[in-house]
Amino acid sequence: MKTEVIKLDINNIDLDKLNYAAQILKDGGLVAFPTETVYGLGANALDESAVKRIFEAKGRPSDNPLIVHIADIGQVSGLVKAIPPEAFAVMERFWPGPLTLVMEKSLIIPEVITAGLDTVAIRMPSHPVALALIKEAGIPIAAPSANTSGKPSPTSSQHVIEDLYGKVDVIIEAGCSKVGLESTVLDMTVLPPMILRPGGITPVELNTVLGKVDIDPSLVSKETEILKPRSPGMKYTHYSPKAKVIIIEGDIQSVVSKVLELQGEYAQKGAKVGILATEQTKDMYSSAEIISMGDRNEPATIAANLFAALREFDMRQVDVILAEAIESTGIGLAIMNRMSKAAGYNIIKV
Ligand code: AMP
Ligand code: MG
């Protein structure tokens, strides 16, 4: 399939190009576009065959439901049975932004979107290109991350090109995703609402509006591997580079010592070692492929850099990635959730 790459300036969106991409969506085509979380692969959410093409292009399992993207809060009422009062409050506070709300679906939503569930996940992204595109298309847009299923989500158009060139109609280029991790998924069908996937909006932020939110036990339990997550997508291997990932968790000095020890062991076996470090530690290592995720005191920067770093290690063809854990407070909860999944929960505590 022929893929067109269209570059848009986030501060001065070319309306002809935008209309062209919106028309492709209306005609049942696939358009990858930037959002503030990660790049998304969009199709008309109300067109079953268009949505099926998303699953084909990504190689996504059909039991992993999609998030429906909108550009106006007024669109929600047609997509759900009823809007719980608490949902209004969080929409007002956090939309547009990296928060997805799960509510009971209306009949208009095709089964292929929800993988047979009676709930639908909805989000209003804040990226100006995403908002303008959805508004111009005038339809709700189903959009999972625009990566090959299983790989780290794309935070730049280059990542999308690597995975989906030749498999989609259009790829819109407009810089890097600022948040860098997928949205928080919040189940509004239960009280208190429950976080099914940690993301850009933190539990503390949600508590300021809702008083209390629960967190799906499978996200925080040590037995994460055996508890069944309530967000279907969370059960899959995800965010995985080709290399084996090992997380080392503990105080900084012990982490650095353990990384150096493991680096030596793997190097001796002839493996090419990558170290996922931080600004505080990157100079303590040598003779390995070293990437700093950012400053430990700026977890938002680490979130924005994580997926690109994992992909970069693949480009450098490392065999093993030794990754420093970071504190799992605030957005750190989402960072450690993604890192743990990339590592298949291979975590060494020191
Ligand atoms: P992605 O857009 O690739 O980040 O994947 C969408 C995520 O949203 C998946 O992990 C899904 O499990 C989750 N999701 C979508 N719809 C629902 C739903 N109805 N209930 C719970 N989780 C959902
Ligand atoms: Mg995804």
Give, using CA atoms, the residue closest to atom 10 of ligand 1. Answer: 233
Q: How many whole angstroms from 144 Cα to the centroid of ligand 1?
A: 8
The amino acid occupying position 274 is: G
The ligand 1 site (C-beta within 6 Å) comprises 64-65, 67, 102, 114, 117, 119-121, 144-145, 182, 185, 196-197, 231-234
Mean pLDDT along residues 104-125? 97
DSSP 8-state class, residue 10: T
User: Which ligand minimizes its atom distance to the CA of 216?
Assistant: 1
Pairwise CA distance, residues 127 & 37, whole Å: 9
pLDDT at 225 over 60: no
Q: How many whole angstroms from 66 Cα to the centroid of ligand 1?
A: 5
Give, using CA atoms, the residue closest to atom 6 of ligand 1. Answer: 66
Kindly report, residue by residue over 70-87, the tens digit of the pLDDT.
999 999 999 999 999 999
pLDDT at 158: 98
Pairwise CA distance, residues 145 & 201, whole Å: 17
pLDDT at 77: 98
Q: Which of the listed residues 35, 37, 63, 66 should we mutate to test ligand 1's pocket, taking the one with most ligand atoms within 8 A of CB?
A: 66
Q: How many whole angstroms from 153 Cα to the centroid of ligand 2?
A: 6
Pairwise CA distance, residues 59 & 187, whole Å: 26
Mean pLDDT along residues 322-350? 95
Number of H helices, E strands in the chain: 12, 16
Run of H or E residues at 100: strand 99-104
Characterise 334 by phi-psi region: left (phi > 0), alpha (psi -120 to 50), beta (else).
Answer: alpha
The residue length of the chain stands at: 350
Q: How far is CA 11 from CA 129, 132, 261, in A?
A: 9, 12, 48
Q: How many whole angstroms from 341 Cα to the centroid of ligand 1?
A: 16
Nearest to 210 by CA among 309, 92, 321, 115: 92
Mean pLDDT along residues 13-29? 98
Q: Which of the listed residues 185, 188, 236 should we mutate to test ligand 1's pocket, taking the one with most ligand atoms within 8 A of CB?
A: 185
Q: How many whole angstroms from 157 Cα to the centroid of ligand 1?
A: 22
pLDDT at 333: 95
Kindly report, residue by residue over 149-197, the tens digit of the pLDDT.
999 999 999 999 999 999 999 999 999 999 999 999 999 999 999 999 9
pLDDT band (50, 70, 90) for residue 221: low
- Edge-to-edge strands of the sheet including 289-292? 289-292, 273-277, 320-324, 244-249, 347-349
Q: How far is CA 234 from CA 38, 201, 224, 264, in A?
A: 17, 17, 10, 34
Pairwise CA distance, residues 235 & 252, whole Å: 30
Run of H or E residues at 16: helix 15-26
pLDDT band (50, 70, 90) for residue 288: confident
Mean pLDDT along residues 127-145? 98
pLDDT at 241 over 90: no
Nearest to 346 by CA among 332, 325, 318: 325
Q: Are 67 and 123 in contact (CB under 8 A)?
A: yes
Pairwise CA distance, residues 311 & 309, whole Å: 5
Q: Report the chain's C-alpha Rg in angstroms.
A: 20
Run of H or E residues at 210: helix 203-210
Q: How many whole angstroms from 63 Cα to the centroid of ligand 2?
A: 13
pLDDT band (50, 70, 90) for residue 266: very high
pLDDT at 234: 65
Nearest to 20 by CA among 170, 144, 128: 170
pLDDT at 207: 97
pLDDT at 227: 60
Q: Domains of the chain, with CATH numbers?
A: 4-219 (3.90.870.10), 244-349 (3.40.50.11030)
**Mean pLDDT, the chain, whole residue set:** 95
Q: How many whole angstroms from 83 Cα to the centroid of ligand 1?
A: 19
pLDDT at 338: 95
The answer for residues whose C-beta is within 8 angstroms of residue 261's C-beta and 6 or more apart is none
Q: Are 99 and 144 in contact (CB under 8 A)?
A: no
- Provide φ and ψ at 139, rounded to 5°: -135, 155
Q: Which of the listed residues 195, 196, 218, 228 should we mutate to test ligand 1's pocket, taking the one with most ligand atoms within 8 A of CB?
A: 196
Could you identify the residue written with the tokens 């949600």? Answer: 206
pTM of the model: 0.95
Give, using CA atoms, the residue closest to atom 17 of ligand 1. Answer: 121
Give, using CA atoms, the residue closest to atom 22 of ligand 1. Answer: 231
